[in-house]
Amino acid sequence: MKNNINIQNKKARFEYELLDTYTAGIQLSGTEIKSIRNGKASILEAYCVFDDGEVWIRNMHITAYENGSFYNHTPRAQRKLLLNRKVKGNALVPLKMFLSDKGWAKLNIACAKGKKIHDKRQDLKEKDDKRDMERAMKRF
């Protein structure tokens, strides 16, 4: 089973300095995985928290399954992450959601430290310089 589901949080790399990345499974119900396979999920506003030794993702939006009945899920429910390692850090930021080769929903998360404004400016400057160099190389 090979699906090209690739739901990303592009703001995370701009807002945070990523220290370590981990891959975690997500505990989902039947209609949630069906919506994810249809590409109806978003992790832009999501964040991870520790609660009683478990890691949970909050504010992740999974649209209600259109063919679901009254057994449908809540779109912004708190969902448990399944990790094998201890995670230490300042913030846990979801980076990317994907389906594994077996069809399991997986989430890449990172231990991150918030960037300062001058760090963000430096990243934007490097991005602009790289784009200018690519434009100059195309001319020749």
Which CATH number is correct for 6-115, 3.30.750.24, 3.30.420.40, 2.40.280.10, 2.40.37.10? 2.40.280.10
Residue 5: phi and psi, rounded to 5, are: -80, 125
Q: Is 103 exposed, middle or buried (0-12, 13-18, 19+ CB in 10 A)?
A: exposed
Residue 85 confidence class, pLDDT cut points 50, 70, 90: low
- All structural domains of the chain with their residue ranges: 6-115
Asked if residue 106 lies in contact with residue 24, where contact means CB atoms within 8 angstroms, the answer is: yes
Among 21-25, 52-56, 69-73, the minimum mean pLDDT is found in: 69-73
Q: What is the pLDDT of residues 96-120, one digit of tens each?
A: 999 888 888 899 988 888 788 887 8
Residue 92 has pLDDT above 80, yes or no: yes
- For the chain, what is the mean pLDDT? 84
Q: Which run of H or E residues covers position 108?
A: strand 105-114
**What pLDDT shows up at residue 1?**
46
**What pLDDT shows up at residue 73?**
79
Average pLDDT over every residue of 20-34: 86
Neighbours of 117 (CB within 10 A): 7
Return d(Cα 43, Cα 106) in angstroms, integer. 12
Residue 6: which residues within 8 A CB-CB, separation 6 or more?
A: 96, 98
The percent of residues in the chain predicted with pLDDT above 70, rounded, is: 94
